[in-house]
């Protein structure tokens, strides 16, 4: 199959999300599925990309008790009340904003997750496994967030 001879489609959109707490796994699979449908792409891929350093994208299972485990795991590995140089506003001078919040824990938790996930599309369907769902993962606090979704294919 030679791609250059085919009519490539590209849909790009932004999901705007605000979680209720942090850490929180927010299932965005249905929203991505809807964008795949709108794109008309039958064979290709979906890229789901968080525009943030303290909010991630991760594929995992949507089982409520497991979500509690994963949220607790992140909090255990990098607790909010831990000590972080990033939170020392008396020393820190770089990337300081007016309403800067201490969020060193959220950056460190993000190291374990991803900024993006890519999912293959075949016959117009996301090729997720039986238990795979796409999550937006808030790690900092409830904030307005943007997730860019690109659907590319034929
Ligand atoms: Zn920060």
Per residue in 94-109, pLDDT (tens digit) is 888 877 888 999 999 9
Contact 151/8 with Cβ under 8 angstroms? no
Q: How far is the CA of 107 from the centre of ligand 1 (A)?
A: 7
Q: How far is the CA of 67 from the centre of ligand 1 (A)?
A: 24
Supply the pLDDT for residue 91: 83
Domain-located, residue 63: yes
Domain that holds residue 114: 3-81+102-153
The rounded distance, in Å, linking the Cα atoms of 110 and 105 is 9
Tell me how many domains the chain contains: 1
Residues of the chain with pLDDT under 50: none
Q: How far is the CA of 96 from the centre of ligand 1 (A)?
A: 8
The rounded distance, in Å, linking the Cα atoms of 132 and 47 is 15
Q: How far is the CA of 68 from the centre of ligand 1 (A)?
A: 24
- Where do runs of H (alpha helix) occur along the chain? 29-39, 64-77, 104-110
Supply the pLDDT for residue 97: 81
Domain-located, residue 88: no
Q: How far is the CA of 66 from the centre of ligand 1 (A)?
A: 27
Q: Which residues surround ligand 1, an ion (CB under 5 A)?
A: 103
Rg (CA), the chain: 18
- The CATH number of the domain where 18 resides is what? 2.60.120.460
Domain-located, residue 118: yes
Contact 18/127 with Cβ under 8 angstroms? no
Domain-located, residue 45: yes
């Amino acid at each position: 199959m030679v791609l250059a001879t085919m009519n490539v489609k590209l849909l790009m959109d932004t999901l705007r999300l605000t979680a209720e707490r942090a850490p929180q796994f927010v299932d965005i699979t249905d929203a991505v599925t809807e964008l795949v449908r709108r794109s008309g792409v039958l064979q290709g891929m979906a890229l789901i990309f968080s525009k943030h350093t303290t909010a991630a994208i991760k594929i995992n299972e949507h089982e409520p008790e497991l979500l509690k485990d994963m949220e607790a795991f992140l909090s255990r590995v990098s607790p909010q009340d831990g000590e972080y140089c990033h939170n020392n506003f008396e020393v820190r001078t770089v990337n300081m904003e007016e309403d800067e919040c201490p969020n060193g824990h959220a950056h460190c938790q993000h190291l374990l997750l991803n900024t993006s996930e890519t999912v293959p599309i075949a016959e117009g369907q996301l090729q997720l496994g039986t238990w795979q769902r796409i999550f937006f993962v808030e790690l900092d606090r409830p904030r307005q967030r943007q997730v860019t979704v690109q659907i590319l294919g034929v």
